[in-house]
Structure 1
Amino acid sequence: MRVGVGQFMQPTPERLRYINQLGVEDILLNMYATPLLSDTEVPLTGDSEWDFQELVQLRNRVEDAGLRLNAIENIPISFYEDVMLGGPDRDEQLEHVKTTIRNMGRAGIPILGYHWSPSGVWRTSTSRRVRGGAEATGLDAAELEDAPLSHDREYTEEELWENYEYFLEAVLPVAEEAGVTLALHPNDPPVERIGGMPFLFRNFENFKRAMDVVPSDNHGLEFCLGTWSEMGEDLFEVIEYFGDRDELVYVHFRDVEGTLPSFTETFLDEGNFDEYAILEALDDVGFSGLMIPDHVPRLEGDDDWKDRGRAYTVGYIKGMLRGVRSS
């Protein structure tokens, strides 16, 4: 197990130096613009797939700064929206996704985190106050009950499951050949639906189904502890189940106060779960991947990337990890 940093797109020299100063060696890069990220410009061109040469250059930019590019998280929704929705350009988009996976493998980038959420991440507040007046995001599901359609019509769960199986059958053989592992993120928030769009990956049972649809050693969980905490699932049971199957690829180490229908993201030491016990459970199942702070509170003096909140969380996880290793 090791601690890294993510939640950004642009690996600028200043940011890479700062990450080095935090004493971590791994990063992952998010690759589509969202209001929950500070960056707005993706460092890769292409409106349907990513170029091999640019991926190599991106990895080398990170390595030249003394860090490892452990994963890329989330191709833009526009790259595969018709794949998720069964639209007319589904097969054309799938070919582009497969090309991107092949190019990642050739470029030496081993993990692609992805989601199955055509309407993205939802929050009803980005200014809730937590300890000392720090700002955090939160959600009250009741406020989303009358959300307008996010797409052209209402979709059924059966449709999204059929499209998901079609996707896995097409891309997992390519990922295996390319040496790239795909890691599935939960829907956030893990509700049944918003705006006419089902949110499949909202509970333990649906994740079990996802991992069994097309069994592959190159498929697992982008294990977002915060989203699982929002679900109210037994995290220790989840870790044991997927850890024993070697399906925990990497971890978003964050937590929330409360579970659906209402929660607030907060500091690790004030959330729902016992953060040290969770780290011990990950160690017990032999997890050996990357752990990153995810959505962190905005501290006084923070920049848009929340560099201070992120540094606090990196240090907190590193301290816990030293304690686990000592024991």
Structure 2
Amino acid sequence: MMHVSVTVNTADLSDLDLRQMAQLGIDYVDFGNGQSFKGVKEQGFPDLDELLKLKKRVRSFGLDMNRVTLPNISRRFMEGEEGSEQELENSLNAVRVFGEAGIKIVRQRFEGDVFKGRGLSYEAIQRGGAIARGESIGLLKEKAETPGQEELQNWWSSFQRAYREIVPLAQDYDVKVAMHPSDTPHPDSPFGGIGLNRIIDDFPNKNVGFVYCIGTRAEAGGSSLVMDEINHFGRKGRIFLVHFRNVRGSLPTAGAFEEALLDDGDMNMFKILLELRKVGYDGCLNPDHVPTFAGDVADLHDSWKFSNIGWKASSLGFAYSVGYIKALLNALNEFEGR
């Protein structure tokens, strides 16, 4: 049975946040900012006692914690700078803490998995004036250079070095390590279609898989690519969380894309749901990158200023998206006679 989760970008959740989540019928909370947990600022990784308090509080509202994020691994580590090994040690300690707290999915961020300056973000005005994020590779006249093969291989070697320590430790604690695709998925990005396969080729471990972002992968090739990848990765049991969102256009077909409401993009989200069911997926569906409705507050992070990647109390966009997903899940059960 699939469930509904939402991403928060802070561990400091208010009663209003949690109460509204419960009222909307949300099941789980995903924590997208690994730096936000208490203890990270002081010691480099979360404090176990504080984490357990947070988990108990979330559970008191009928919710639970689903996916968390490890402390970031920066460019310093990826380029092998002196002293940067502490970043990996912090991630390893975080895996231990999350494992001891009984949290089952972690994500590790690696700086450099996205090629910045390859497309121009813009404000996409959609149905009724809703604001969404668009990106075009044609509108940007001066594009940043793509790293060369040697530079990319060195980056990948640093990624492998980190995963070689994170993965076995996660397995010891029965924790799954989930990678998000490169967003935006410009050609040759480390975690594009080839890179995602490379991860599971290099680490043939059932605890290694993906936060499979439907929207990001649709930006790379549309609904046919998404269906193929769900079938490919899903039947291998490597999809641990799904970012359930819709888009218009793709980089290969239109040279641009726009994020969209679930019922207003190119993809038929019910068909996506059927494919997830077919491969046996039973994790969470997360309405990621939600367009901004009139009266909503847009995300304050400059990289995502035209969409909302983190939950906000009283967000009409999130409420609409959660309700749409729950309706699809009910329709799926009726469709299958459950």
8 Å Cα contact 2:250/2:257 also seen in 1:
yes
Change (3 A) 1:117 1:191: farther
Per the TM alignment, residue 208 of structure 1 is displaced from its structure 2 partner at its CA by 0.9
What does residue 154 of structure 2 align with?
159
Change (3 A) 1:156 1:272: farther
- For residue 107 of structure 2, the aligned residue among 100, 104, 113 is 113
What does residue 318 of structure 2 align with?
310
- For residue 132 of structure 2, the aligned residue among 133, 136, 140 is 136
Please state if 1:96 is matched with 2:90.
Answer: yes
Cα deviation per residue 1:246-292 (whole Å; 9 max; x = unaligned)? 00001000011110131111111121221100000000100000111
Query: Which region of structure 1 is more displaced relative to structure 2, 240-249 or 296-305?
Result: 296-305
Distance 2:8 2:126 in 1: 20
> AA paired with 1:244?
R
What does residue 27 of structure 2 align with?
25
Query: Where does the alignment leave 5 or more consecutive residues of structure 2 unmatched?
Result: 299-311
Change (3 A) 1:15 1:166: same
Please state if 1:214 is matched with 2:203.
Answer: yes
Distance 2:177 2:93 in 1: 14
8 Å Cα contact 1:7/1:294 also seen in 2:
no
What does residue 12 of structure 1 align with?
14
What does residue 69 of structure 1 align with?
65
- For residue 330 of structure 2, the aligned residue among 288, 302, 322 is 322
Change (3 A) 1:121 1:156: closer
Please state if 1:224 is matched with 2:213.
Answer: yes
Cα deviation per residue 1:147-188 (whole Å; 9 max; x = unaligned)? 56899x997211111111111111101101112111000111
Per the TM alignment, residue 126 of structure 1 is displaced from its structure 2 partner at its CA by 5.4
Distance 1:132 1:13 in 2: 31
8 Å Cα contact 2:134/2:258 also seen in 1:
yes
Q: What's the TM-score once normalised by structure 1's chain length?
A: 0.87
RMSD: 2.5
What does residue 242 of structure 1 align with?
233
Report % sequence identity.
Answer: 30
Distance 1:285 1:258 in 2: 26
Please state if 1:185 is matched with 2:174.
Answer: no
> AA paired with 2:279?
V
> AA paired with 2:158?
N
Distance 2:28 2:220 in 1: 28
Change (3 A) 1:61 1:150: farther
8 Å Cα contact 2:37/2:46 also seen in 1:
no
Per the TM alignment, residue 12 of structure 1 is displaced from its structure 2 partner at its CA by 1.3
Distance 1:144 1:184 in 2: 28
Per the TM alignment, residue 58 of structure 1 is displaced from its structure 2 partner at its CA by 1.9
Per the TM alignment, residue 144 of structure 1 is displaced from its structure 2 partner at its CA by 5.3
Distance 2:213 2:150 in 1: 25
What does residue 306 of structure 2 align with?
none
Please state if 1:253 is matched with 2:244.
Answer: yes
Query: How many residues are matched?
Result: 310
Cα deviation per residue 1:174-218 (whole Å; 9 max; x = unaligned)? 1011121110001110013xxxxx721122x22111111121111
Query: Where does the alignment leave 5 or more consecutive residues of structure 1 unmatched?
Result: 34-41, 193-197
Change (3 A) 1:93 1:24: same
- For residue 163 of structure 2, the aligned residue among 155, 159, 168 is 168
What does residue 46 of structure 2 align with?
50
8 Å Cα contact 2:130/2:292 also seen in 1:
yes
Equivalent position SS for 1:156: helix
Distance 2:37 2:163 in 1: 27
Distance 2:77 2:185 in 1: 21
Please state if 1:273 is matched with 2:267.
Answer: yes
> AA paired with 1:247?
R
Please state if 1:200 is matched with 2:190.
Answer: yes
> AA paired with 1:25?
D
Change (3 A) 1:150 1:49: farther
Distance 2:98 2:167 in 1: 14
> AA paired with 2:164?
E
Change (3 A) 1:107 1:235: same
Change (3 A) 1:143 1:87: farther
Q: What's the TM-score once normalised by structure 2's chain length?
A: 0.84
